[in-house]
Amino acid sequence: MTKLIVFTDLHMTPEGTTIIGLDPYERLGRGIDHVNRYHADADRVVFTGDLTHRADTASYLRLKALLGTLAPPAAITIGNHDNRDRFLDIFDHVAADDNGFVQQSIDFDDCRAILLDTLFAPPYEYPASHAGLLCERRLGWLDRRLSETDKPVLLFMHHPPHKTGFTGMDTIRLTNEQAFYELILRHGNVRHIFAGHVHRTIGGSHRGIPFSIFKSPVHQQPMPFDTPDPSLSVDEPGAYGIVVVTPDGLQVHTEDYEIARRDSVTA
């Protein structure tokens, strides 16, 4: 049974800086320590974008060093807070696809995992590039990856491909939702979609396909749905996802590792 750990929205910053008073390096470091201790047997640790907060070289180097302490192998894609060229220059072990996008397909015995690059850039013009896009070249790549396998497919992407109920974040979701869903529904082998971007734990289904969205290891989205500002943050415990493929389907868990305890007692 394939086991995948999922981190999203790392928002790494240079040494000595914080986000709302929180140190992304320290928080992610605790998450990696937790994975190494309890899930060193994972087949992959998937990182679904917003690796840094401002896509600067110092933050990418700091993150690369920290990910070097991870016991299981990593698989990485990018989000709207990233710079594609800078990421590929520093993470030189991560191969881009034939068109230079940070996408990859990984086959396991019981599934195929596909990581998608939904960064709507260049040009890096904010706030427009905070939204996501899968251009014709990326959709074509996905079409080919879906057509060449009989295995159930798990999709990993930064931007949710549909509304999640958070007014501000929904304005910067994947912009070409219709084309994306037409493609994957035509193939019929996508079993689950995993995303980040919203900094909340969200689960459900859209057009018949289950999805899961995970919280950040650093800062979270305030819970009120009708907030128009997508940049608001609150200090809540960091988390990562645990995905287990079973003979009969799929299990998705959330580990709030900063408050998780294993010294339970019988009630």
Residues 64-93: tens digit of each pLDDT: 999 999 999 999 999 999 999 999 999 999
Is residue 267's pLDDT more than 90? no
pLDDT digits (tens, 9 = 90+) for 177-194: 999 999 999 999 999 999
Q: Is residue 260 part of a domain?
A: no
Confidence bin at 260 (pLDDT 50/70/90): confident
Lowest mean pLDDT among 83-92, 106-115, 141-150, 222-231: 222-231
pLDDT digits (tens, 9 = 90+) for 98-130: 999 999 999 999 999 999 999 999 988 877 889
Q: Is residue 265 part of a domain?
A: no
Q: Is residue 11 part of a domain?
A: yes
Please tell me the total count of domains within the chain: 1
User: Among candidates 212, 126, 112, 217, which has minimal Cα distance to 161?
Assistant: 212
Q: Is residue 202 part of a domain?
A: yes
CATH number at residue 79: 3.60.21.10
Q: Is residue 262 part of a domain?
A: no
Calculate what percentage of the chain has a pLDDT beyond 70: 100
d(CA 20, CA 219): 8
- Residue 183's domain comprises 3-255
Confidence bin at 231 (pLDDT 50/70/90): confident
Q: Is residue 128 part of a domain?
A: yes
User: Among candidates 163, 145, 135, 141, which has minimal Cα distance to 230?
Assistant: 163
| pLDDT score recorded for residue 262 | 82
d(CA 74, CA 264): 31
Q: Is residue 266 part of a domain?
A: no
More confident residue, 200 or 263: 200
Q: Is residue 124 part of a domain?
A: yes
pTM for this structure? 0.96
Phi, psi of 216 (to 5 degrees): -85, 155
Per DSSP, what are the bridge partners of residue 245? 250
The edge-to-edge listing of strands for the beta sheet with 104-107 is 104-107, 112-115, 153-156, 190-195, 209-213, 202-206
Confidence bin at 174 (pLDDT 50/70/90): very high
pLDDT digits (tens, 9 = 90+) for 244-259: 999 999 999 999 999 9
